[in-house]
């Protein structure tokens, strides 16, 4: 069935939330992104595909491989190799120690202990080599195609790299695991050994977990001389969930807060289509009513930056020359929404109610006297 098309600017038909537009913030980070946790859409980008050393942000992938391929309750026997790791931040692991995987994950994600990730890899895969193969394969499956790992903890290496965009994708994936979310939101914890029986208190390296910015729920810090100061954060506010990644910053905490302020203030939800709101009226020939209201087949709401709103447009396609009867819910058109030239969504328009055909007498009268409706 052919459709006739009408094209109008969406802003002529839809109320837009009132507020002033703001430019994207200026930050010190060499690369950064802000991603919507639910949809994966990016709302802020600075060199998003630039490959950089990820430092201890690497441990996010280390943790998710461990959680998906073993149990936190597993008992790990520390090898001589894992015990010999001393560079950077570590906990006191000695050859032959017995400790659960849960405690090693605490040490890796909360305290960023470099030796704990080696012990994790050896337990899960039998060796760091095989564990790294699992990490790199998982990165590809997630879509982090500009990422490659050569170690489990983030030590600098020419072939160990990622991007701000890839790290956001990896983090978004990891946050789907409830255990991972539990670890990264902890401000402090106790690491407990089975043999020898001992305990070590650890504190998060993420200063934003202290409450200096509302809604922060993790995720991970990273820092080396090559990578600079890096930070990934999850923040939730008013049913909106945002992931920020900042790499090589002068002040990673300030950069993160500035980006989050921009996101929470400038991203708005706009109802494009509803099942109980008329989008158009369609004339009906031969019906007991002369027109039928068209409503959305489903509700459709989209999040956009305020600065995008002037570019939002609608194309409306309506079925021509409709004769009664019309059924409630009958598809009679479609509206498509565009941001500039980029199509955002299409939703079918359906009849809001049934329109019966006029009776024989009424139709005969109209035919005799040349009256049409």
| Active-site residue (options: 46, 106, 112, 334) | 112
What are the start-end ranges of the E strands in 75-116? 75-77, 98-100
The answer for 96, left when phi > 0, alpha when psi is -120 to 50, beta otherwise, is left
| Measured CA angle at 272 (ends 308, 325), to 5 deg | 150
Cβ(279)–Cβ(349) below 8 Å: yes
- The neighbouring-strand residues paired with 326 are 355
Cβ(297)–Cβ(345) below 8 Å: no
| Measured CA angle at 82 (ends 77, 84), to 5 deg | 130
Cβ(326)–Cβ(292) below 8 Å: yes
CA distance linking residue 143 with residue 59, whole number of Å: 18
| Active-site residue (options: 46, 59, 106, 220) | 59
Buried b (16+ CB within 10 A) or exposed e, 98-128: ebbbbbbbbbbbbbbbbbbbbbbbbbbbeeb
* Strands 228-237 and 216-224, bridge-based pairing: antiparallel
What does the DSSP 8-state code read for residue 257? H
| Active-site residue (options: 56, 116, 162, 241) | 56
In degrees to the nearest 10, what's the CA dihedral of 64, 68, 69, 74?
80
CA distance linking residue 44 with residue 164, whole number of Å: 11
Note if 56 is an active site residue: yes
CA distance linking residue 85 with residue 332, whole number of Å: 68
Active site residues: 56, 59, 112
């Amino acid at each position: 069935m052919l459709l006739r098309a009408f094209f109008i600017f969406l802003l002529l038909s839809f109320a837009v939330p009132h507020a002033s537009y703001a430019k994207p913030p200026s930050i010190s980070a060499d690369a950064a992104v802000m991603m919507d946790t639910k949809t994966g859409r990016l709302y802020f980008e600075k060199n998003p595909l630039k490959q950089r050393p990820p430092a201890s942000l690497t441990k996010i992938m280390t943790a998710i491989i461990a959680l998906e391929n073993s149990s936190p309750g597993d008992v790990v026997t520390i090898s001589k190799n894992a015990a010999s790791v001393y560079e950077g931040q570590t906990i006191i692991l000695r050859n032959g120690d017995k400790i659960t995987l849960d405690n090693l994950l605490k040490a890796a994600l909360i305290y960023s202990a470099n030796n704990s990730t080696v012990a994790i890899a050896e337990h899960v895969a039998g060796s760091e080599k095989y564990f790294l193969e699992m990490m790199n394969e998982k990165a590809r499956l997630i879509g982090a195609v500009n990422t490659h790992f050569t170690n489990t903890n983030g030590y600098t290496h020419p072939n160990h790299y990622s991007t701000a965009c890839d790290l956001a994708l990896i983090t978004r994936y990891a946050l789907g695991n409830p255990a991972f979310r539990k670890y990264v939101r902890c401000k402090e914890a106790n690491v407990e050994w089975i043999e020898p029986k001992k305990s070590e208190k650890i504190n998060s390296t993420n200063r934003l977990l202290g409450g200096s910015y509302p809604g922060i729920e993790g995720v991970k810090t990273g820092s080396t001389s090559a990578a600079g100061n890096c930070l990934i954060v999850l923040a939730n506010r008013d049913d909106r969930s945002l992931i920020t990644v900042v790499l090589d910053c002068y002040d990673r905490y300030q950069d993160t807060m500035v980006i989050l302020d921009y996101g929470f203030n400038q991203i708005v939800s706009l109802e494009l289509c509803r099942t109980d709101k008329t989008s158009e009226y369609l004339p009906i020939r031969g019906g007991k009513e002369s027109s039928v209201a068209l409503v959305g087949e489903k509700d459709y709401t989209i999040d956009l930056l305020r600065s995008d709103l002037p570019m939002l447009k609608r194309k409306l396609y309506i079925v021509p020359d409709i004769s009664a009867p019309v059924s409630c819910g009958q598809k009679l058109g479609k509206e498509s929404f565009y941001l500039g030239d980029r199509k955002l969504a299409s939703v079918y328009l359906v009849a809001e109610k049934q329109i019966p055909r006029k009776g024989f007498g009424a139709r005969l009268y109209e035919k005799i006297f040349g009256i049409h409706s």
